[in-house]
Structure 1
Amino acid sequence: MTGGTGFLGKVYMEKLLYSCPKLDKLYLLIREKKGVSADKRIADLFENPLFKRLKSSNPDFMKKVVLVPGDLGLPNLGISPSDEQTLIDKVSVVYHAGATVRFYEPLPVSININFDGTRKMLELSQRMKNIEAFVYVSTAFAQANAKVLVETAYPSPAKVEDVYKFIEEHGHDKHAVKKFIGSHFGTYAFAKALSEAYIAKNHGKVPAVIIRPSAVTATKDGPVKGWLDNWFGASGILYYINEGVIRVLHGHGNHTVDFIPVDYVSNLCIISALRAKESNEVQVYNSTSTSDNPVNWDTIFNTMKEEKTLSGKNKFPYLSMTYVDSKLALQLGTFFLQITPAVLADLWLKIKGKDPKYLKVVTQALTIRNAYDYFTTNNFILRSDRTRELHSSLSPEDREEFPCDPTQIRWPEYLKDNMNGIYKYLKAPKIL
């Protein structure tokens, strides 16, 4: 597996080791990072509270985890010849979630890691003697023009050779890159779309699965309810809305937003590998919620407001939300409803002899809000018919052990758990 140190990867690894006792070995591709060795990184990883139940049920679980030093961005994945041969001889399922998840990574970097890394992983899988499944974790937002996303492969956004040629000539020109990737919301989504199409066309005899999660949020059921470990995805914007810092959104309150619990994505990855051999075509599953169990921005905000009113802990008083249609209205609303109050509050602090802080906080929040503009202004319908069908085909015991049907999410309860997890497991920005 790749991406084991990431948010989804941790949950996937824990679930696999906890709920699949017949697993022989888990080979984890891991790179050294900022002078920290692979051994140290994995030791620190398993100190996470996420692994508490695994340690309790199987204290020797580490004997099943084999570290494979490597790097998706290097030739041959940075894997030694001996490790490569071990993988070729032993591995039957490849789970590839390793990526750089920054939306607007420079195009050469995103293509090198997110596309070339995927291509090299697929080529390695094709040399594995016992390969049964290649599971690729993409994103539900890879297909920029698909406002109704179905569970099938889509055409490539560009020819691979044209992408390489463009990078050679214009790869570091931000304006040229923006034009080249078109309506994709960033280089991340573009590289994912390119990878999806490449896998669909080139997987050959390797049974291939593409998993498309939407905005991945905290665990719903376990092993730790409400657990998460980073500010990527929706955590930042939810936090600042909850604090009353973000008060103006570009979009509509009735626009649906597609959140999916991280354990639902992990469970789908596991059970989809089981069925990979049933078709010669690449199998696509959307891990999404808008089609079958939608939630909109109004519901999210009202749930937060109700909780804040009950607790009386809103640090920015008078929690409110205004939705606007245009960029001009967004600028005016932001100036009058967010920046002006922050400037006045800072002026009051200065009069009292204290350091100003409110404008800085609002500026930080606006950066996050603006980065999320693509998701607040679009109304997505991301279908998950095949995912629900796959889950319903399991035995009752496995359906309970590996939940991934989005209709089972009770949003008011889950949104509270998700927000509690943000405050409990993430180091909050210094807001006051």
Structure 2
Amino acid sequence: MTSVAAFYEGKNVLVTGGSGFIGKVFIEKLLRCCPEVGNIYILLRSKKGKSIQERLSQIKDLPIFDVLKKSNSAALNKLIPINGDGAELQLGLSDEDRELLVNNVHIIVHTAASVRFDDSLKYAITLNVRGTREIVQLATEVKNLSVFVHISTTYCNTDRSLIEEKIYPAHADWREAIEIAETVDEEILNAMACKYISPLPNTYTFAKSLSEHVVEDMCKGRIPAIIIRPSVVVSTLEDPFPGWNDNFNGPTGLLVAGGKGVLRTVLGHPKSVQDFIPADLVVKLMLVATWQKAQFGDKNEIEVYHGSKNECTPIKIGEVVKMGADLVQDSPFSQILWYPNFSMTSCWYNYYIQVILFHIIPAIFLDSLLRLAGKKPMIVKIQRKIYIANVILEYFLKHSWKFDNKKSFSLINKLQKEDKETFGLSENILSWSNSQIFEFFKKGKIGAAMYILKEDFDHTRKESRKNLHRLWILDRITKVIFYGFVLYLFTTNYHVLKYYYNRLENYITNL
């Protein structure tokens, strides 16, 4: 039995979604820890006027590759861009590129997907279902394929409270879904979407659920395939360094928006248990599961692995919000719109009152000041995005699920001694105390400031604390003025309020 690194030696890998969060972390880990790997083909498309070569250069310049550049910068020369698009038939590949992949690829890792919860049904099916069909079709043509890896999500079966590492019955026929997306008018599709995707909450979870059945139906008995289901993927824990992130998904967006002072209230259930997984642990699982499938796998079985904490470190969303409030004092951002003070409520009318008072009205006021200053107004637009995001996430912030992950952790027993440090997975990694969770979120917040917001976090921390204190004073002064004004209106118009109160009381009495 070969080691994990030895298994990848000389093998060429095709990665879809290589420009995405998981894709970049996977590529970096593979190049750094499996230095003898062959070429890594990355399916890319031209975007925003940039060619695939320019986009690859941008990827290579990201900080996540800094550690690799110091130890083996030549490894980046193994990255080869392939012009293609997962939303196109035949992946938009030229005949020459398709032949190149068919003849040379040994492993396919399919991470490409739209992760937006509010995608139209047509787009979600086109990219996440039909796109999976197209990449699986390519996989069946590859001459020397060792393993096909499909990245799904633990949330593709949210109609169940306990989700095990297996494929559940389909919520619809994926072939019919593709045909509908290709032929039915989009307005009609949008009108029928809620009924069609039920009981799943959005088009993303529905499409990802169907994509698993594409893999099962097309791969079973033909090619070795595995499905990896991560939960909410957040910043790296330690590999290649703590805190790397490139998006605001999951708790990161909550902590950043709250820490910046633009998020004041969240609609959700404080006691709902949330599941998140560091990106580097997901990547370790991907590498080890691929190795295991090639060593011991059966074409007639599609193994499913969960990248989740499950019950190792259960954390309630209300606790995440509280930690975010504590992080405001411990490590404030350098640029803050207003003094951070955010909370969560499960009461919808309380939420909407707070949105109007603390999101909409201040946003209109601040945008008015920006217009007077000759600058582009943006705060209302930001608050609109925050509101839409909260509405979309409300379902997940009010419910809890258990994700069984026994199979994932059992892989550790099959690793050789020399692999355990580099690729090992252990329950101890995720069995954190509250202080460890706090430190993880702190590093994730610092990472978001440095790598997403481009803030010089370390050099402005002292000034950030001073700025936070100034905003605290301003916040208190503003609240005193506001509540004093409300009290003034109440006392000066007491007789009017009493008159209407009596009328209301009489009306209720006479019902």
TM-score by length of 2: 0.76
Letter in 1 for 2:204: Y
Structure 1 position 105 matched with structure 2 position 131: no
Structure 1 position 389 matched with structure 2 position 415: no
| Structure 2 partner of 1:412 | 438
CA gap of 1:364–1:412, structure 2 versus 1, over 3 A, is same
Deviation of the 1:186 alpha carbon:
2.2
* Secondary structure, counterpart of 1:29 in structure 2: strand
Q: Is the 8 A contact 2:251 2:320 kept in 1?
A: no
Deviation of the 1:383 alpha carbon:
2.0
Q: Which has the higher helix share?
A: 2
Structure-1 separation of matches of 2:269 and 2:194: 26
* Secondary structure, counterpart of 2:301 in structure 1: coil
| Structure 2 partner of 1:148 | 162
CA gap of 1:360–1:170, structure 2 versus 1, over 3 A, is closer
Deviation of the 1:23 alpha carbon:
0.9
Letter in 2 for 1:366: Y
How many residues in Structure 1 have an aligned counterpart in Structure 2?
427
Structure-1 separation of matches of 2:284 and 2:105: 20
CA gap of 1:24–1:166, structure 2 versus 1, over 3 A, is closer
Structure-1 separation of matches of 2:37 and 2:147: 15
Q: Is the 8 A contact 1:215 1:260 kept in 2?
A: yes
Q: Is the 8 A contact 2:174 2:213 kept in 1?
A: no
Structure-1 separation of matches of 2:425 and 2:104: 29
| Structure 1 partner of 2:394 | 373
Letter in 1 for 2:35: P
| Structure 2 partner of 1:169 | 184
Structure-1 separation of matches of 2:259 and 2:239: 24
* Secondary structure, counterpart of 2:154 in structure 1: coil
RMSD (Å) for aligned C-alpha atoms: 2.8
CA gap of 1:335–1:400, structure 2 versus 1, over 3 A, is same
| Structure 2 partner of 1:51 | 65
Q: Is the 8 A contact 1:267 1:402 kept in 2?
A: yes
CA gap of 1:161–1:243, structure 2 versus 1, over 3 A, is same
Deviation of the 1:392 alpha carbon:
4.0
CA gap of 1:159–1:405, structure 2 versus 1, over 3 A, is same
TM-score by length of 1: 0.90
Q: What's the % identity of the aligned pairs?
A: 29
Where does 1:395-406 land on structure 2 (aligned, <5 Å)? 395-405=416-426
Structure 1 position 193 matched with structure 2 position 209: yes
* 1:297-338 residue CA offsets vs partner (Å, 9 max, x unmatched): 23212222222234566753362414224x334323433555
* 1:227-269 residue CA offsets vs partner (Å, 9 max, x unmatched): 1112344432231223344333323222111111111111111
Q: Is the 8 A contact 2:174 2:211 kept in 1?
A: no
Uncovered stretches (5+) of structure 1, i.e. residues with no partner: none
| Structure 1 partner of 2:320 | 300
Deviates most, 216-225 or 105-114: 105-114
| Structure 1 partner of 2:233 | 216
Structure 1 position 288 matched with structure 2 position 288: no
Deviates most, 378-387 or 298-307: 298-307
* 1:7-54 residue CA offsets vs partner (Å, 9 max, x unmatched): 110110010011012212212222111321111110111011111111
| Structure 1 partner of 2:42 | 28
Letter in 2 for 1:384: N
Q: Is the 8 A contact 2:282 2:307 kept in 1?
A: yes
1:228 is aligned, of 218, 230, 245, to: 245
Structure-2 separation of matches of 1:220 and 1:263: 7
Structure-2 separation of matches of 1:323 and 1:2: 39
Where does 1:5-16 land on structure 2 (aligned, <5 Å)? 5-16=19-30
CA gap of 1:197–1:424, structure 2 versus 1, over 3 A, is same
Q: Is the 8 A contact 1:288 1:406 kept in 2?
A: no
Structure-1 separation of matches of 2:249 and 2:268: 21
Q: Is the 8 A contact 2:28 2:65 kept in 1?
A: yes
CA gap of 1:160–1:361, structure 2 versus 1, over 3 A, is closer
Q: Is the 8 A contact 1:170 1:177 kept in 2?
A: no
